[in-house]
Amino acid sequence: MKTYKTISCLLILILPHLLFSQKRDIEDIKTWKFFKGENKDAYKIDFNDASWQDVQIPHDWAIYGPFNKDIDKQIVKIEQNNEEVATEKTGRTGSLPFIGTGWYRTVLSIPESAEGKQILLTFDGAMSNAEVFLNGKKIGNRPYGYSYFYFDISKELKIGEDNLLAVRLENESQSSRWYPGAGLYRKVQLITKDTVSFKHWGPTITTPYITGEMAKVEIKSKVQGKNVRVETTIKDSTGKAIAFNSNSQRFGDEVEQNIPVEEPNLWSPSHPYLYTAEIKLFKDGELKDSQEMRFGIREFKYTPEGFKLNGKVTKFKGVCLHHDLGPIGTAINKAALKRQLTILKDLGCNAIRSAHNMPSLEQLELADEMGFLVIAESFDEWKKPKVKNGYNQHFDEWAEKDVENLVRATKNHPSIIMWSAGNEVPDQWGSEGVKRLHWLQEIFHREDPTRPVTVGMDQVKAVMENGFGAVLDIPGLNYRVHLYEEARESFPQGFILGSETASTVSSRGIYKFPVKKGHDITYPDLQSSSYDLEYCSWSNIPEEDFVQQDDHDWVLGEFVWTGFDYLGEPTPYDNYWPSRSSYFGMIDLAGIPKDRYYLYRSRWNTEDETLHILPHWNWAGREGEVTPVFVYTSYNKAELFINGKSQGIRIKQKDSLLERYRLMWNEVLYEPGTIKVVAYDENDKPAMEKEIVTAGKPHHLKLEADRTNLTANGEDLSFITVSVVDKDGNVCPTATNQLSFKVDGAGKYRAASNGDPTSLEMFHLPTMKAFSGKLVVLVQSTTDVGEIELSVSGKGLQTGNIKLQSKTINP
């Protein structure tokens, strides 16, 4: 049995976010002019862009729609979905207008104080095929929309003058399998620093030795300039200096320091403790550059006994996440990301796979702070195509450069515990694919010898036969739970990672009768049942993964497809219209948990109790008909009551796949009124109870904000859940009222989403129908300080209001 030795050592990793600097200036380039369409002269200095749209970066030009079934309509056979014939796919990439060319222009004013400095222009991502022009001259390009990249523009800039920066982006048709977004959707920055300084993405911190009493912090800083000295002060989470080192010994372009940290606090999902390293560069006694970085100390290894973090076996309770943020598209927003992670924390989730793209730096910063283990993924395609105009066109020229930048930009995040070189790549077949895997894996190892590499493999029989799975550090299996045992025997590593699991589908608050378990089930309303028994042809219900993880130490855990619904890939309705977003999420596109969320929570969240009942209890016309009741709970036993009458006690059964993890009353006859569940503890004492009542007619609107205090920075968001309720305040679970939104004061309306994968209403317009009685409204701060009020109205309903505060400091 194989343990990955290069990461059995103890690690300390840093967060490359620059929190403070004395000798460098970092400017977010936010204000741009934008034009959707081609214009061959748009890069020229004298081009007139007065009529162009004013936008703020990050920006996704396509999220404003409208939805159109003919946008990127693909006639394709999806082999990953076991399809045998090509069919028309109308919603595969979200049916939003991301195809085509977009131009961005802005002016950089460079002060005379920048004379003699080094100036870098950095992009966290640009979707896609970016061409960058400065003062009418092309300075470079980057085809991959998820890649981080930068240019040294010191020689091209005019110091003391205005400089024109133009970026051309082009998304081709059939270039993606999901909604990729469009535009400068991640931040763009200008970094001005001394020519004697730390190189971009230069510092790396590890610990080759750690005990409960001491951690040896090894800092290797790549520098530019001769006769330099590096000083480092390490601070604890309160800002207190606890260690110091100074060194001028240089090997090549690297200065190495070894610094002891006494009684180290170890980073983990339950204890995401972050230190700070203040690293200064001096030449002849003069401070030339300074960076302040947070870092976390932790050790990990992969063994047949499980993934061990700080010496403790830790199962991956993970989810896969696409990069879109629902109603605001792919434009990165830290408040939206933090809301996602907050919801996942309550779920008990401890890990994220960035599927199938390089993660944003903001997401990694939050993962470090909040405590999530991360698989940082690189590609969905290698040389062999999945889509006609995908990454296969760029693999030979750009794959090595893109992997280098991924690792160099993010390797110091303590949250990252594994790299993924690809997902379900067709290159799994044949010897050429094995060679490509070996080549890519060695690039990752060269850039970062401290972490292993995985690939999400779906062709399990093939990779067992051709050696592909044996080459990998971590064999990741996408689905194929029936092959886990055989794969474990075949592969030398001695363990299996569920790199993508379940693909169970459901629509929030929608239930179908009779209740049945099966794959690729479709209905006339294009919804999937929230009884959580429907899945895809290649996948399974959650319980099949639960059994593998609970019964086998060598199953390291899982990454569920998916945490949140996302735009595009509307399986099982790929061939139907209108259907434009996924059904896979435990949480819908609006960020409202589905029933399945609570099934996972009952296993994953070991700190809090879970008791959840489904379905809702508004079934006019079904009186006397069988309406099964399921309960997801962290308790082993519960009793169901309908209008006070016991329907019996159910106990979880280890020898039954379904009854091992959920409690079911399959013969309940519907009658309106009250449904109540009482959960019992191990001593048969009532421990928790919950009830649902049959709601009356829609009466008024209830508004609940995830945050009531915002920062007046023009970017912060509050997510307000709007529920249609009866006169007693009970949610009306079948309400579909058309609602309208108005924001007054120091904020503005940003978007709304109801979580309905078939809705064609545009997110940015201030009106939308409720779906299963609810929707979510996003209110954005301006730069003004003061009160913000959201009013939500609907015909025949009492208006709902909520007040927020916008402040100058972080709430």
Sheet strands side by side (includes 738-745): 709-711, 800-807, 786-794, 738-745, 767-769
Percent of the chain with pLDDT over 90: 94
CA–CA gap between residue 741 and residue 718 (Å, rounded): 14
Looking at CATH, the fold of the domain delimited by 619-693 is given as Immunoglobulin-like (2.60.40)
Does the pLDDT at position 17 exceed 50? no
Does the pLDDT at position 7 exceed 90? no
Which distant-in-sequence residues (6+ apart) come within 8 Å of 532 by Cβ?
A: 504, 506, 541, 542, 595, 596, 599, 630
CATH number of 5-23+196-300: 2.60.40.10
For range 210-223, the mean pLDDT: 94
Provide the Cα torsion 296, 302, 308, 310; round to 10°: -30
pLDDT per position as a tens digit, 485-506: 999 999 999 999 999 999 999 9
Determine the pLDDT at residue 240: 97
Q: What is the mean pLDDT of the chain?
A: 95
Does the pLDDT at position 120 exceed 50? yes
pLDDT band at 23 (very low <50, low <70, confident <90, very high): confident
Does the pLDDT at position 11 exceed 80? no
CATH number of 26-62+102-193: 2.60.120.260
CA–CA gap between residue 87 and residue 549 (Å, rounded): 36
- Domain map (residue ranges) of the chain: 5-23+196-300, 26-62+102-193, 315-604, 619-693, 700-807
Decide if 538 contacts 502 (C-beta within 8 A): no
Determine the pLDDT at residue 391: 98
Catalytic, 365? Answer no
pLDDT per position as a tens digit, 305-361: 999 999 999 999 999 999 999 999 999 999 999 999 999 999 999 999 999 999 999
pLDDT per position as a tens digit, 311-324: 999 999 999 999 99
Determine the pLDDT at residue 87: 84
For range 359-386, the mean pLDDT: 98
pLDDT per position as a tens digit, 155-190: 999 999 999 999 999 999 999 999 999 999 999 999
CB atoms within 10 A of CB 393: 17
Determine the pLDDT at residue 458: 97
Give the Cα-Cα-Cα angle 550, 555, 557 (nearest 5 degrees): 80
pLDDT band at 19 (very low <50, low <70, confident <90, very high): very low
Determine the pLDDT at residue 8: 31
> Hey, what CATH class is 315-604 in?
alpha beta
For range 584-602, the mean pLDDT: 98
Determine the pLDDT at residue 73: 92
Radius of gyration of the chain (CA): 27
- Indicate the range of 20-24, 698-702, 722-726, 729-733 predicted with least confidence: 20-24
Determine the pLDDT at residue 5: 32
CA–CA gap between residue 4 and residue 6 (Å, rounded): 6
Q: What is the DSSP string of 50-79?
A: TTSEEEESS--TTTT----TTTT-EEE--G
Place of tokens 């090595």: 400
Does the pLDDT at position 21 exceed 70? no
SS3 170: strand
Determine the pLDDT at residue 84: 75
Catalytic, 156? Answer no
Cα first-last separation, the chain: 50
Which is the CATH superfamily of the domain at 700-807?
Answer: Immunoglobulins (2.60.40.10)
Tokens of 594: 């589905």
The catalytic residue among 131, 170, 365, 424 is: 424
Does the pLDDT at position 82 exceed 80? no
Whether the model pTM is above 0.85:
yes
Task: Put residue 492 in one of left, alpha, beta given phi > 0 → left and psi -120 to 50 → alpha.
Answer: alpha
Determine the pLDDT at residue 810: 57
Q: Where in 304-452 does DSSP place strands (E)?
A: 306-309, 312-313, 316-321, 351-354, 373-377, 416-423
The catalytic residue among 278, 500, 639, 715 is: 500
Determine the pLDDT at residue 627: 98
Does the pLDDT at position 2 exceed 60? no
Give 785's DSSP letter: -
* Residue 586 exposed, middle or buried by CB count within 10 Å (0-12, 13-18, 19+): buried
Q: Are the folds of 5-23+196-300 and 619-693 the same?
A: yes
Decide if 756 contacts 771 (C-beta within 8 A): yes
pLDDT band at 12 (very low <50, low <70, confident <90, very high): very low
Determine the pLDDT at residue 657: 95
Place of tokens 């329907």: 647
